[in-house]
Chain A
Amino acid sequence: MQVLNKNKEQKVRTKKIQGPMERMRQKAFTIIMIPYVVFLVLTKGLPFVWAVIMSFTNYTGFNIGNMKFVGLNNYIRVFTDADAIPSIGRAALIAIIVVPITVTLCLMLSLMLNQKMRGIGFFRTAWYLPSIVPGVATVMMWRGMFIKNGGVFNQILSYFGYNAIDWMDFGHVQMSLIIMLLWGAGGGILTNISAMKSIPTELYEAADIEGAGFFTQFRKITLPLISNMIYMNIITGLMSMLQLFAQPVMLSGEGGLTATPIRPIYTYMVHVYQQIFVNMRFGYGLAMVFLIFILIMALTWLAEKTSKLWVYSEVD
């Protein structure tokens, strides 16, 4: 009872402390936020709820009049669909290969590009360039290089007297896709460099005095202090790899976004897209989307829970 009274007293005191200006500010904040919240609910919240509802129906995009509720059937179907689970496996395999290499490459590049030397701006731009080139152009460029008849890679092989390789056959296409994805490894350079720049120089000066070499400084100072940025790169990398869609589809060639890539690069989101926009299984496709959403949420939660062990933070 005493505690309650204390809280009340505190609230009253706080209210008393708030002047008319503060109250007006709060009101203004609320009023300014209303359009945003309304906009958010209308454009994100309602479609999300609508999609959740549709994932429990046999919605095909054209049967809104005679749509049926199918319970958990769409969700169960994901586990019996011969293509769904293997396609997650493929996306996961690509993620396991691409994310660590990309993060490591990006870290090494960031270290090199964080040096003070003449013309470093050019190299920073050059490495970051792939990240700002439109994805379609990137894939078309790589496709042109991989294509068996007349592609750049096979012309180089031919010049040195080697036989041509079918870079997009069952045996090579996954490697070709991974090579293409690694080309964008410089995407995290800017954030890494900015994190490195925010490390106080006094730490390095003190380490120099103590006789610590480059690798010790990297291991003891740089790496811990930019570990939150590495953490972010890993999480966003995993998310984008598990949702890999446009690159395998466009690499496969004809048919636009509804093209069917060959098995080794037929990823989960490609299968989702095929279900919704080729086979008109909107309900099933949405159930697939929510399952990958849950999987990504679970992985992110796991990473967050274990982050205390390997990500440096100044806040407990």
Chain B
Amino acid sequence: MRKKIIIFMSLCLALTSVLSGCGGQNSGKDGEKKHIVVTFGKDEITGEVAEAETIFADYLAEHPDVEIEINSLNATDPKMLAMIASGNAPDIIRLNAPSDVATYVMRNMIIPIDEYVEKSDVIKMEDYYDVINLFRFDGKSVGKGDLYGLPKDWSIGSQMWINTALFEENGVRIPTDEDPFTFEEFAEAARKISKKNDDGTMAVIGADLGIGANYNYIEYMLSQQGKSYWKDDFSGTTTLTQQETKDAIKWFFDLQQQGALTSKLNEISSTYAWFAEGKLGMWNQGYWASAYFRDENTDMKIPLENVKLVPGPVFDKNNRKSSIMKATGGVISAQTKHPETAYSVLEYMMTGALAEARAKKGFGFPIEKSKISLLPMANVIDEQAKLATDNDAKYLSYDMKYNPYVNASSIEASFNKYYIPALYGEMTLDEALKAMEEDIEILISEGKEIAGVE
């Protein structure tokens, strides 16, 4: 009997050790390998879904002491934040520049990569588009100072896809590369295109700029006028003190109440589905969305000849500005145990064969000018979208401001917390603006405390 108990206990212990082994990342022989965790999606590194062993096969062959794990998370994903808070941050973090770069730097969560870039044989700065500067931050301004990451690819976020058939049906002028809409023309076009069914639901919606009043877009509107959503010292917003800011928010508010823009009031299942079905006139997305139309499994129900990429609306046609708005890229966590290896993996991801594979898929413009010829030219949209982006890139401006003390998702949450009740008529817009300003100022003061700024 005693023997049986001892055998039973030994089995229990063996089972426990086997089970605990399943959870460990560096066990046994692999324990000596440098384990690099990358948070990009498995489908966005080459444009096709694949496992890390396949994507990084060449790199791993050259670096047998490295193992790579893909953990698909966004910079603002709660799981990612929990990992950072518990000291287990991934080595390479996927984030959106410039909005997230500044807050990540202020919280000492990422490290500059200048010293690695300088030593690199692969990165040729003269071959890079200026977009790379969106990953620079000097403690106050985005675009200046140390470099914190490498972009994956880029598109002009202020551009929009339009369904020309809806424009023609409603007698609306089609904006061109040379003659973009003003914001007034945009609003008028959205109103004309929008149509309601007899039961009160929307048959066609004029435009989509996000379902709330996207504060990033408001900053874009204000930067066109040389203004900003943020006060100069980033202690708060200009919502209550600057007429242009109020006007920009009111512009959104009125169009959403009129049903000319997508909103909570007229929620739809998916903006892409509505565009593909010919029920959305203007869809605010850049070149990257051409992948939806190129895909052989595309569910587009409108002829591709009717789809065009055009510049976003401007305030002053003589002082035209376009904006990237968001550039996705990779940064290196300050918690990484292997910064040099993490950089080499990041560089491998963002250059060479993987960048070529992405360029050929057309999920955005490649960051290296030398790879631009690899973009697909398979259908009627491809060439038009490339030309439109090339043309609008001449007007790219990098003067949108980003508050370094508060993260983008907090601002959006505070904004929508009051803006949406106002849309539903639960409070006036003025009351909403006052309440959101109070919330954002508290968030900023807390952010300053975290950053150790007086």
How many whole Å from A307's CB to the nearest CB in chain B?
37
Residue A260, interface by CB 8 Å? yes
Q: Are the C-beta atoms of A149 and B267 separated by less than 8 Å? A: yes
Residue A28, interface by CB 8 Å? yes
Which chain A residue has the least Cβ–Cβ distance from B203?
A149
How many whole Å from A273's CB to the nearest CB in chain B?
7
Q: Are the C-beta atoms of A256 and B2 separated by less than 8 Å? A: no
Q: Are the C-beta atoms of A274 and B413 separated by less than 8 Å? A: yes
**Contacts A24-B5, A35-B16, A273-B78 given: A149-B424 contact, CB under 8 Å?**
no
The B212-261 residues at the A interface (CB cut-off 8 A) are: none
Mark A53-92 against chain B: 1 for CB-CB distance below 8 A, else 0.
0000010111110100000000000000000000000000
Contacts of B5 in A (CB 8 A): 24-25, 28
The A151-165 residues at the B interface (CB cut-off 8 A) are: 154, 157-158, 162-164
Q: Which of A107-115, A129-137, A277-285 lies at the interface with chain B?
A: A277-285
How many whole Å from A55's CB to the nearest CB in chain B?
14
Residue B443, interface by CB 8 Å? yes
Q: Identify B199's interface contact among A24, A162, A253, CB under 8 A.
A: A162
Q: Are the C-beta atoms of B201 and A258 separated by less than 8 Å? A: no
Contacts of B200 in A (CB 8 A): 163-164
The B185-227 residues at the A interface (CB cut-off 8 A) are: 197-202, 211
Q: Are the C-beta atoms of A166 and B413 separated by less than 8 Å? A: no
Count, chain B residues at interface, CB 8 A? 48
The A224-283 residues at the B interface (CB cut-off 8 A) are: 253-258, 260, 262-263, 273-274, 276-282
Residue A94, interface by CB 8 Å? no
Rounded to whole angstroms, the CA-CA distance of A55 and B424 in the bound complex is 36
Rounded to whole angstroms, the CA-CA distance of A279 and B76 in the bound complex is 11
Q: Identify A147's interface contact among B268, B409, B420, CB under 8 A.
A: B268
Contacts of B416 in A (CB 8 A): 260
Rounded to whole angstroms, the CA-CA distance of A170 and B421 in the bound complex is 8
How many whole Å from A11's CB to the nearest CB in chain B?
25
**Contacts A61-B84, A61-B85, A260-B417 given: A154-B201 contact, CB under 8 Å?**
yes
Residue B60, interface by CB 8 Å? no
Residue A21, interface by CB 8 Å? yes
Contacts of A35 in B (CB 8 A): 12-13, 16
Contacts of A166 in B (CB 8 A): 265
Residue B453, interface by CB 8 Å? no
Q: Are the C-beta atoms of B443 and A168 separated by less than 8 Å? A: no
Rounded to whole angstroms, the CA-CA distance of A257 and B413 in the bound complex is 12
How many whole Å from B437's CB to the nearest CB in chain A?
15
Residue A32, interface by CB 8 Å? yes
Residue B109, interface by CB 8 Å? yes
Rounded to whole angstroms, the CA-CA distance of A253 and B81 in the bound complex is 21
Residue B318, interface by CB 8 Å? no
Q: Are the C-beta atoms of B452 and A66 separated by less than 8 Å? A: yes
Contacts of B409 in A (CB 8 A): 255, 258, 278
How many whole Å from B422's CB to the nearest CB in chain A?
11
How many whole Å from B257's CB to the nearest CB in chain A?
13
Residue B380, interface by CB 8 Å? no
Q: Are the C-beta atoms of B424 and A62 separated by less than 8 Å? A: no
Q: Are the C-beta atoms of A62 and B107 separated by less than 8 Å? A: yes
Q: Are the C-beta atoms of A158 and B201 separated by less than 8 Å? A: yes
Residue A150, interface by CB 8 Å? yes
**Contacts A31-B9, A150-B201, A278-B409 given: A258-B211 contact, CB under 8 Å?**
no
A-B pairs with beta carbons under 8 Å apart, 22 shown: A25-B5, A35-B13, A61-B81, A62-B84, A62-B450, A148-B201, A154-B199, A163-B199, A164-B197, A164-B199, A168-B264, A169-B424, A253-B267, A255-B409, A260-B416, A260-B417, A260-B420, A273-B78, A277-B78, A280-B446, A280-B450, A282-B85
Which residues of A does B touch, CB under 8 Å? Answer: 21, 24-25, 28, 31-32, 35, 58, 60-64, 66, 144, 147-150, 154, 157-158, 162-164, 166, 168-170, 253-258, 260, 262-263, 273-274, 276-282
15 new A-B contacts at CB < 8 Å, known A260-B420, A262-B264:
A21-B1, A24-B2, A28-B9, A60-B450, A61-B82, A62-B108, A62-B109, A147-B269, A149-B266, A149-B269, A158-B198, A162-B199, A166-B265, A169-B265, A170-B426
